[in-house]
Amino acid sequence: MRATFAFFFLLFSAVAGVAEESKADYIKRVREHVDAVRYDRIVVQAAARLPSDPKIADVTFRINSDGSITNVKVVKGNVSAELARYIAQAFANLPRVKNVPKSIGASQFQVQLAIGV
Q: Where are the domains of the chain?
A: 21-115
Interval 47-103: pLDDT, tens: 888 887 778 899 999 999 999 999 999 999 888 889 999 999 999 999 999 988 888
- To the question of domain 21-115 being in CATH 1.10.600, the answer is no
Provide the pLDDT confidence category of residue 19 given band limits of 50, 70 and 90: low
pTM equals: 0.74
- What HEC string does 53-117 produce? CCEEEEEEEEECCCCCEEEEEEEEECCCHHHHHHHHHHHHHCCCCCCCCCCCCCEEEEEEEEECC
Quote the mean pLDDT of the chain.
82
> What percent of the chain is modeled with pLDDT above 90?
44
Are residues 77 and 55 in contact, defined by beta-carbon separation less than 8 angstroms? yes
Residue 115 CB neighbour total at 10 angstroms: 24
